[in-house]
Amino acid sequence: MSIFDDRESAFESKFAHDAEMQFKAEARCNKLLALWAAKKLGKPEDAVAAYVAEVIKSDFEEAGHEDVVRKVAGDLGDASSADEVRLKRAEFLAQVKAELVAEN
């Protein structure tokens, strides 16, 4: 194997690792956002897991995170705004990324 092949392999591995970490961060962030929203909505404990699953599922509607923001903000109605949901999501994403870095 040449040096170029080694570098190509290293870049491919790094890209795959970064993509996996981003996916994990987004999934954990969506879960934390759903738990936060469920608490604001006063959902009973037995309904929280189903709500978390709904929010995570909503992330697959379109690229990006606006589908999740739209879902959660719509569910919260007057209890919150889309801007507050985006802010909480950004806080959770920063927290989750720090946790993932600490884990690795």
**d(C-alpha 100, C-alpha 104), whole Å:** 6
pLDDT tens string 63-98: 888 999 999 999 999 999 999 999 999 999 999 999
pLDDT tens string 21-42: 888 899 999 999 999 999 999 9
pLDDT at 1 over 70: no
Hey, where are the domains in the chain?
A: 24-103
Measured between alpha carbons, how far apart are the two ends of the chain, in Å? 29
